[in-house]
Amino acid sequence: MKIKLYKYGNKNNPPILFIHGFPFDHRMWKAQIEVLKKQFYCITYDILEKLETSNNKSPQFFEFFVDDLFGILEKEKLNKPIVCGLSMGGYIILRAVERKLDLFSKIILCDTRTEADSNEAKLKRVEGFRKIEKFGIKKFLKEFTENTLSDFTKKTNLSIYKKALKISKDRTEYSTKSALLAIHGRNDTTSVLQKISVPTLVICGEYDTITPVQSMEKLCSQIQGGEFIKVPNAGHLAPFENSKFTNEKILEFLNK
């Protein structure tokens, strides 16, 4: 099944590919694309769309998500694009780089990690399955989404809070379970960090409790010339929660 791509801006401009986090979709990048499409050719897609629309219910491995990325690069003839990924999107980027080192001209990693799931994290994925089975997919997605947002966002930015809930609620039970299993089984990609030689921006929300600032600073320190940005008043969805600040920093990075 073909993956639908969402394209914005002039195709002759430098391409930048956005890869969203779980359990969201391409809509989480709207604020970034509105700004960047003036200078860049912006492309994004929905990682889980094929699972939500296909009758094929075969098991999913994380490597398949990376294969999808390679397929997009080939189909669109994207030669060393810029790439930007959040959380699961970052996992995909890092594994893609591990498989093919010189894919991208610049890398932006938002609220992500290189480590494979710890035993504790694996058990949390299993608990997610149990919650879906016991309480239903809607309750699971609502609770999971709320955990990605900072208390500041939930208390002071109701529109962003509602948008996040609206985007995540469209996931199906099958695609959600498949993603949980795929993420559960992903490889550790820490060793690839020291091999990255292209400009890399690492972004983390000030109040991110899923991939905390300290862990992302450590990630950044292992990348030659890596730049670290802490996003004020944001949690795990830093570009979504504080898009104005994040967009300014991304533009500064891209225009260097």
- Domain ranges (residues) in the chain: 5-254
In this structure, how many other beta carbons lie within 10 angstroms of the beta carbon of residue 236?
25
Residues in the chain: 256
pTM for this predicted structure: 0.96
Can you tell me the mean pLDDT for 226-242? 98
Residue given tokens 């790439």 in the structure block: 83
Neighbours of 83 (CB within 10 A): 28
- Pick the more confident residue, 200 or 60: 200
Place of tokens 């400009």: 199
pLDDT at 7 (0 to 100): 98
End-to-end CA distance of the chain: 38
- Residue 1 pLDDT exceeds 70: no
- Check residue 21 and give its pLDDT: 97
3-state secondary structure at position 76: coil
Domain 5-254 has CATH 3.40.50.1820: yes
Q: Is the pLDDT of residue 161 over 70?
A: yes
The predicted pLDDT at position 105 comes to 97
What is the reported pLDDT for 54? Answer: 66
What mean pLDDT do residues 81-106 have? Answer: 97
Checking if the pLDDT of 226 tops 90, the result is yes
Provide mean pLDDT across the span 206-220: 98
Look at residues 227, 5, 187 and name the one whose alpha carbon lies nearest to residue 96.
187
Look-up of token digits 């970052």: 90
